[in-house]
């Protein structure tokens, strides 16, 4: 069984370095930007999930 997750990072409290290359960092940033779509978030068609 895994220990419960604690807010603020690993149980030791010390953040882990990912040791990403410049290309990997750029790829990660590009991926994270795909998760944000301001046009979709502002579209009134999707503003109320309970509207019929």
Report residue 6: phi and psi, to 5°: -115, 145
Instruction: State yes or no: pLDDT of 5 exceeds 80.
Output: no
**Distances 17 to 4, 8, 9, 41 between C-alpha atoms, Å:** 21, 15, 12, 33
Round to whole Å and give the CA distance between 5 and 33: 26
pTM above threshold 0.75 = no
What the block records as the tokens of 49 is 């999930």
44 — alpha (psi -120 to 50), left (phi > 0) or beta? alpha
Q: What is the pLDDT of residues 10-38, one digit of tens each?
A: 666 677 888 999 999 999 999 998 888 88
């Amino acid at each position: 069984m895994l220990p419960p997750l604690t807010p603020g990072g690993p149980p030791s409290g010390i953040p882990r370095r990912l040791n990403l290359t410049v290309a990997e960092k750029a790829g990660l940033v590009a991926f994270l930007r795909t998760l944000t779509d301001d046009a979709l978030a502002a579209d009134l068609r999707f503003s109320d999930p309970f509207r019929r």
